[in-house]
Structure 1
Amino acid sequence: MSDVSGSELRALMARVPSVEKVMASAQFAPLVNEYGRAQVLGAVRDTLDSWRSNAQAGEASVSALDVGQLHASVEAALRRRNQSRLRSVFNLTGTVLHTNLGRALLPDEAVQAVVKALTQPANLEFDLETGKRGDRDDLIDELICELTGAEAATVVNNNAAAVLLTLSALASKKEVVVSRGELVEIGGAFRIPDIMSRAGARLREVGTTNRTHLKDYEEAIGPQTALLMKVHASNYAIHGFTSEVGLDEIASLAHARGLAVAMDLGSGTLVDLSEWGLPREQTVRETIEAGADLVTFSGDKLLGGPQAGLIVGRRDLIAKIKKHPLKRALRVGKLTLAALEPVLRLYRAPEKLAERLTTLRLLTRAADDIRLAAERVQPALQRALGERYAVVAEPMLSQIGSGALPVDVLPSYGLVVRMAHGKRGGRHLLGVEKVLREMARPVIGRIADDALCLDLRCLEAADEAQLIGQLSGPLSGPLSG
């Protein structure tokens, strides 16, 4: 802080241009044209007020009165204010279906369908054959049934909504029998017992955390039983002294007692992933064939589509679900349906799926291909960070994410940033992570074992070129803190 006398301060204040003069200058006309007069006027006032406050505190200089600097400050403030809060990032976390980064990326066919639905009227609820009002589920019902073997289907906004709607429609004020080992909690504090409570159903727990037997289900069935339910373990696994009852056995018991069986598959895949060398996961069709009367699963996980919750199964049960008042509250809009249909159509040609479906392409990407990408990016990152840091291409293990196959990993490759000369990273690596996160297109990695790890599994060719170009520019923020 510098000492400014009263006369010097008055002289500085006298040199501050008026808001009217600034707004009338030709230099600010492009900003008014881009952002509108009201926004520019507010930014100019805020910038001049800030300068006056700094001057009174003895922190201003005469150079701050430069019109060019004033223009730059106003323009920067306007850009910050109008920058989208939802931004594209580089997902270098090693998690393909990262919940916090938007989960599945849509293939081009889905993107083009969404653009068309955004810009042109569509037959969302209009039957083109009869000329009468239609049902939006009709847009994808036949296709989902073809791929799953179900009699009918409906779609809501996510899998939590699918479970909530199913229980509300079929088990309100009645009991639902579930194994204690399947009372899961997933991200965002989604708990099966809580969902049941909100749906008005009463939970009937059977068995223990690690062992449940068929007789446990049999003994729990009573006059108030509405459903037997199985829940995918999602984001955890139990090993050791364990026992669970197969869906086929539960279905046989339920059907003999005149009850239905619901299966919450969570991630839900339509194909056998082992065909591409990935860990095997039970498909929706196999679940239906095993006797499930209803199956709920996500659209934006292993399916590789937009956020949605799909409910498939018996026609009479789906009809009852669709008549429930919650269905309208939880229904999806035209953009979800526009994206979902082309994604489902890709499954009609499974031999081309790994090429066309973005999620499967990323999951099946060869480690050697990722290694070559890491070797191409390494020099740019090393130059950007300087000699204080060592950037090395190393093998890594990716994960599928979003509760899908929680204990399975995928061989991958990436860049590891450590302090040079073996020093501990601590706050310095946190500083690097922050600088990368604050880039024009943020780079999101993870810190582990005193290193910053950047897994390149999700970095495809076009993104690789953009990342290298971005690293070639100046990095903002101190890296030496």
Structure 2
Amino acid sequence: MSEVVSPGEGERALQDPPDDDGGPPARRRPPAVERLLGHGTASSWVVQHGRIALTGAIRAVLDEIRAGAEPVPDDAEIVARAAARLDAAARPSLRQVFNLTGTVLHTNLGRAILPEEAVVAVAAAMTGATNLEFDLASGERGERDSHVEALICRLTGAEAALVVNNNAAAVLLVLDALALRREVIVSRGELVEIGGSFRVPDVMARAGCRLREVGTTNRTHLADYADAIGPRTGLVMKVHPSNYEIRGFASQPPEAELHRLCIARGVPLASDLGSGSLIDLAAYGLPPEPTVRQALAYCDLVTFSGDKLLGGVQCGLVVGRADLVAKARRNPLKRALRVDKMTYAALEAVLRLYEHPEQLRRRLPTLRLLTRPRDEIEAQARRLLPEVARRLQGRAEVALSSCASQIGSGALPIDTLPSACLTLRRPASDGTRRGGGAWLKRLGADLRALPVPIIGRVAHDALQLDLRTLEDEAGFLASLDALAC
């Protein structure tokens, strides 16, 4: 007669069968998937992730266990591993981070932070139908640019305006609309490359234009433009020197003179302004940058970004002469490059802030961060120093240092803003400084793995956390608390 064994004894017998030679017990067989799904801790994960997803995660963990040499964990540990896999997979790829790099408009970290007014406007546009292309007055089909065109014209002095998905698209549209299969004249010193190997000559080639370079890298004269303009000329173009500056024996003809030449020859003059400031930054104590209104005084069209110095959402704007803007709007590329209702909602909300310049510094995050006084930043650093040192005790020595922030995104590449930072160095208790590079990489990885990642910059064999852009002190410290977990 067969022997009846209780479940508990059966499990022990299954887990610990002795070897024939009396050695240590053999590795137990992993439990069945159904048994793990019935474990007490699994029910909450089924509710959160679904039974199918949890089943797949459990099977993946069991496959790893079978392929490895470790002892088979208990059921609770296996379920926990499966749940951890699901949590990691469910975490959004696009996440909020603390930008403490010292670059206010950091392209890799999303550039401008939107004001609360834009956030509210976007939420309203997302959660219901809108009159995106519907004229409420006439009941007929409308033009989506109409939601911001009049506002842009008031702020810039332009006759007309349109919006596309970024400034590169704005340049591409203008080139295709005005100079397809024709020549575009550009000074050799303005044939720039910006981030991501984006080159102005390449955009011109894609737009079906022929580039006509004039002048030299450091000097271009009005006569160079005059000699180059001919029957095949479709456009003369000025390009803002993004991410660099030429100094010394360098010159460009006055914009007003170049514009008069273009008018006389019947050729449009366009300016790719890049960052596109709508205000005089010098009035706020910042380095001067040409405004869109100033550029339009000597150009027929100006293209610029919405998410750089303007402080808004990613988009590109084309402003200027009504006939030229209309030609660009009729171009088939306009539909391919158009933006959605959320972009218009955010852009309109940001632009309306500019109608109240007395409140702009307080309400527009980009301007508020760029104009933070160094004394205020240093006071914040002194306040945070002991808190950060306590949380990083044993991991890093923390000190207060002076540093220089930069605007970023190609705006004013030479100018910097005085700031203060927390400098993290390898603890002296480590003895030798050898391997500091590896230590910095580990510390950077640990900070990037926090619930809200903290991104700093490496300088002088240390990790610097520039506090110019830190406004949420409580959230910053709460994220650091996770280092102790």
| Deviation for aligned residue 1:284 | 0.4
| 2:67 aligned with 1:53 | yes
**What aligned pairs does 1:170-189 form with structure 2 within 5 A after superposition?**
170-189=178-197
Question: Could you tell me whether the CA contact under 8 Å between 1:13 and 1:52 is conserved in 2?
Answer: no
CA displacement 1:236-280 (0-9 Å, x = unmatched): 001110111122111100001111100000001000011110011
Structure 1 distance, partners of 2:238, 2:254, is 9
Aligned position for 1:336: 343
1:335 is aligned with what amino acid? M
Aligned position for 1:13: 28
Distance 1:13 1:241, change over 3 A: same
CA displacement 1:327-347 (0-9 Å, x = unmatched): 100000111111000100000
Moved more, 375-384 or 467-476: 467-476
| 2:41 aligned with 1:27 | yes
Aligned position for 1:315: 322
Structure 2 distance, partners of 1:326, 1:240, is 40
Aligned position for 1:207: 215
| 2:317 aligned with 1:297 | no
Structure 2 distance, partners of 1:470, 1:144, is 40
Provide runs of 4+ in structure 1 moved above 4 Å. 4-12
Question: Could you tell me whether the CA contact under 8 Å between 2:18 and 2:26 is conserved in 1?
Answer: no
Question: Could you tell me whether the CA contact under 8 Å between 1:380 and 1:472 is conserved in 2?
Answer: no
Aligned position for 1:38: 52
- 1:466 is matched with which residue: 455, 471, 475? 475
CA displacement 1:113-170 (0-9 Å, x = unmatched): 0111111111100000000110100110000001000000000000000000100010
| Deviation for aligned residue 1:6 | 6.3
Question: Could you tell me whether the CA contact under 8 Å between 1:104 and 1:306 is conserved in 2?
Answer: yes
| 2:272 aligned with 1:258 | no
Aligned position for 1:240: 248
Structure 2 distance, partners of 1:474, 1:346, is 39
Name the SS for the 2:174 alignment partner. Answer: helix
Question: Could you tell me whether the CA contact under 8 Å between 2:189 and 2:216 is conserved in 1?
Answer: yes
Structure 1 distance, partners of 2:377, 2:118, is 26
* Higher Rg: 2
**What aligned pairs does 1:42-441 form with structure 2 within 5 A after superposition?**
42-54=56-68, 57=69, 59-61=70-72, 64-65=73-74, 67-289=75-297, 291-387=298-394, 389-421=396-428, 424=433, 425-441=436-452
Distance 1:89 1:435, change over 3 A: same
1:81 is aligned with what amino acid? A
| Deviation for aligned residue 1:375 | 1.6
| Deviation for aligned residue 1:30 | 1.6
Structure 1 distance, partners of 2:42, 2:57, is 11
| Deviation for aligned residue 1:381 | 2.3
Distance 1:189 1:9, change over 3 A: farther
Structure 1 distance, partners of 2:479, 2:271, is 46
CA displacement 1:403-436 (0-9 Å, x = unmatched): 0010010011110112344953321122111111
Structure 1: 5+ residue stretches without partners? 477-481
| Deviation for aligned residue 1:50 | 1.9
Name the SS for the 1:134 alignment partner. Answer: coil
1:199 is aligned with what amino acid? A
- 2:456 is matched with which residue: 445, 451, 462? 445
Name the SS for the 1:404 alignment partner. Answer: coil
| Deviation for aligned residue 1:75 | 1.4
Aligned position for 2:14: none
Question: Could you tell me whether the CA contact under 8 Å between 2:450 and 2:483 is conserved in 1?
Answer: no
Distance 1:388 1:117, change over 3 A: closer
Question: Could you tell me whether the CA contact under 8 Å between 1:435 and 1:475 is conserved in 2?
Answer: no
Distance 1:259 1:41, change over 3 A: same
Structure 1 distance, partners of 2:182, 2:18, is 81
Name the SS for the 1:268 alignment partner. Answer: coil
Name the SS for the 2:303 alignment partner. Answer: strand
RMSD: 1.7
Question: Could you tell me whether the CA contact under 8 Å between 1:395 and 1:413 is conserved in 2?
Answer: yes
- TM-score (structure 1 length as normaliser): 0.93
Structure 2 distance, partners of 1:450, 1:101, is 23
Moved more, 368-377 or 108-117: 368-377
Moved more, 221-230 or 68-77: 68-77
Moved more, 78-87 or 414-423: 414-423
Structure 2 distance, partners of 1:364, 1:157, is 28
Question: Could you tell me whether the CA contact under 8 Å between 2:145 and 2:162 is conserved in 1?
Answer: yes
| Deviation for aligned residue 1:475 | 4.2
| Deviation for aligned residue 1:68 | 2.2
Structure 2 distance, partners of 1:388, 1:225, is 63
Structure 2: 5+ residue stretches without partners? 1-16
